Amino acid sequence: MARTKQTTRKGSSRRPTNGAPKDAIALLKADHRQVEEWFGEFEKARDSKRKATLAKQICNALKVHTQIEEEIFYPAFLEATEDEDTHHEAEVEHNGAKRLIADIEANTSDEYFDARVTVLSEMIKHHVKEEEQPDGMFAKARKSEMDLAELGTQLQARKSELEADGSLVGKARRLFAAA
C-alpha cells in the first residue's frame, strides 16, 4: 500500500521502529542532539587536545548539517510553505555560523579558540530553538504538504555522501570559508 503524505507526516517525529528510515525532521533533530552533546563535552573538557578534537567534530558535523539543510530541506520548506521570513532567517543564521566555523578552523591554537567555540554553541542553540519551537520551521513543515519521509531519505543519502567523500567535505569547507 502506498504511503500518502498524510501518513508520512503522522507520528513521524518519533524514533522509527523496525529499522524504518527517519523522516527529515527526526534526522535533523538527531543531528542537533549530537552537536549539543559535543558542545557539552567541550565545555567540560580541560585538555586542549580533547577540545580541539571536539571542535573539529562539531565543525565537521555542522558543515554537513547546514549543507544538507540548504540543499534539500530549506528549498522544500520554502516551496511548501512560501514562508520567506522563516527561510531567510535560517539562511542568515547559517551564514553567521559558517563564518565562525571557518574562523575556528583557521585559529585552533590562539587565545580566542574557546571563546569562538562557546559563541558558536550559543548561536547553534538559538538556531535549534528557532527551528524546533512550537511555531518554528519544523512545526510549519509538519503542517505543510512536505513529504518528510522522502526528504529524510534524501537528507540521509546526501549526509552519508558528504561524510564519506573527503573531497566533498573539503569542498564544503572551502565554500563555508568563503561565506
Q: Is 71 left (phi over 0), alpha (psi -120 to 50) or beta?
A: alpha
Q: What percent of the chain has pLDDT over 70?
A: 80
**Residue 135 falls within a domain, yes or no?**
yes
How many folded domains does the chain comprise? 1
Q: What does the mean pLDDT of the chain come to?
A: 85
**Predicted confidence band of residue 21 (pLDDT cuts 50, 70, 90):** low
Domain range for residue 54? 21-178
**Residue 13 falls within a domain, yes or no?**
no
**Residue 142 falls within a domain, yes or no?**
yes
Q: Is the pLDDT confidence value at 118 over 90? A: yes
**Residue 37 falls within a domain, yes or no?**
yes
**Residue recorded with cell 512536505:** 146
| Of residues 171, 175, 169, 174, the one with CA closest to residue 64 | 169
**Mean pLDDT value across residues 132-146:** 96
Q: Is the pLDDT confidence value at 168 over 80? A: no
**Mean pLDDT value across residues 91-107:** 96
**Residue 169 falls within a domain, yes or no?**
yes
**Residue 4 falls within a domain, yes or no?**
no
Q: Quick check: 80 and 145 in contact, CB under 8 A? A: yes
**Residue 118 falls within a domain, yes or no?**
yes
pLDDT single digits (tens) 41-74: 999 999 999 999 999 999 999 999 999 999 999 9
**Residue 12 falls within a domain, yes or no?**
no
**Predicted confidence band of residue 122 (pLDDT cuts 50, 70, 90):** very high
The pLDDT score that the predictor gives to residue 105 is 94
Q: Quick check: 114 and 127 in contact, CB under 8 A? A: no
